[in-house]
Structure 1
Amino acid sequence: MDLEPYRAELVTYCYRMLGSFHEAEDLVQETMLRAWKAQDRYDPGRASLRTWMYRIATNVCLTALEGRARRPLPSGLGAPGDDPGVPLTPAFDIPWLQPSPDARVEAGIRADMRLALIAATQTLPPRQRAVLLLREVLAFSAAEVAVQLGTTVPAVNSAPQRARATLAEAGETTDAAEVGEPDDPKVREVIELYKRAFEAADVPAIVGLLTDDAVLEMPPVALWFRGRHDYGLFMRRVFEMRGTGWSLRRLTANGQPALAAYAPEPGGGHRLHTLQVFTVTGGRVAHNVVFADPGVFQAFDLPREIFS
């Protein structure tokens, strides 16, 4: 029984369930182990191998989520800040949502991976979250999902309605959003202009690329800002604190454009500072989630230092 062809899509599913790429990989490894040990009990007449694997993965995820708090972004915890000069105190007690590296996810299964949707999905109860993903993202039938979750078809059919209502309240939907794809030429141009402006420490140029209500947030700091004015004031503070002469590298995360930002070192070279994941709409940057967690850097296989 060859289970490896399902590993990549199961990692993506478990990431959607838990909001952590590292945990998703660990849980898929546990799923594979459970499936291997139970392979003599698999009945192909009752379910396809893929359906059976997702049943095991779902049970593993639901067990892992028992008693756990959801993984949020700062914008999901309260109102935006109004003081760009406030101390930047990390809140390591919060299990922050993490991004997913596109380079480690098969291109065909990256749909509906944008950070805002993953964050909104985290507000759903775990079983409701599983039904929504299995039905509307992975397109399993209601009968298949009922078997996977050990419930009834009517229960499966009603859960997505409640889930969609919750997502709608958060301003999200599982349908395709009007968000620019990373390989869209217009999006690439916006990110390239942002990259150049950042490397030049040109705050007015950065602000000129933003929507009026652009959001900037920085987990593990439980602080976020809304609007071009505060965004710009905070960026000015960053350059005053860390100097100029940054070097940025392009990549993608969650099906969105991203930049790895390297701050200049006094003795030469640059040290990895943040991973920034962008939402581009209407030719402007509408949202920038800035991650400073070393665990995130590890998932993206980013070098800690560069010399250029």
Structure 2
Amino acid sequence: MTGAPLLETRNLSKEFLIGSRFSALGIRTVHAVDNVSLKIMPGETVGLVGESGCGKSTLGRCMVRLYDITEGELYFEGVDISHKSLREMRPLRRRMQMVFQDPYASLNPRRRVRDLVAEPLRVHLRLSEREIRERVARLLDVVGLLPDHMERFPHEFSGGQRQRIGIARSIALEPSLIVADEPVSALDVSVQAQIVNLLADLQERLSLTYVFIAHDLSVVRQVSTRIAVMYLGSIVELGQAGDIFAKPSHPYTQALISAVPQPDMKKAGQRKRIVLTGDVPSPIDPPQGCRFHPRCIYATDKCRNERPALLPLASGRTVACHYPLNV
């Protein structure tokens, strides 16, 4: 990769405090995101994948500063936004937007579509009502909806149509970065393909950069330039999408890819299914050493006692493992 990154995280961590000092367990710390360093280059799509609870959605919200970060640094377009106030962040909101997972919950059911899509225009731009109405009509047309739809309420649309409304709202201010938090997981398979194609078309037309968060690796493989695999709050592998699917280097990545359905029956019969034993450790009390070692079939004493650093390999991959595969 060459050039300056659009967004960069440096040793970014996010912790949440839960419980109460009056309870038996007291106040505990959830290590949701731990020491993540990642560069997002202009025009690419970086897929964030991992099991539920691995911290990928929390990382995405930290990237657009919906969550304040606990430690580390966050840069957007070369500007340190790690600890900017709400007022200081407001001019930057136009350049970074988010598409949420649940189109049923992300749209206010009491407001018409015209008001939902127009809200960012009213907040950030000085436009007349006629100009706003024309802009909303164009945005709905871009995402495959009719101008007449702006007078309806969210409950009058299907799940896929609601997600299109959310996408229209996210591109209203012509951002450079969109964080899509599992944008197709709540939709039917046929509708998923339509939304994925829409996002790809918008990326080409509007020169967008995506962070695409998902747990469905088949979808991530289709849309991503690079893939970052997360486990228990940390990135364990990062590389080009095709390379990771062809030869995963981290045992956790290998297990995830082995679970992806294979349409070719001959290849499906040749693939070895890797079933991980045990549950994901608690982010409240993560294990010592490599966080994956309690479930890893290759774990040694070194893995149990020493945490591996995320280091580049000769293959161009970046992996946090003492004994990487397919090197």
* Greater strand content: 2
Give me the TM-score of the superposition, normalised by structure 2: 0.26
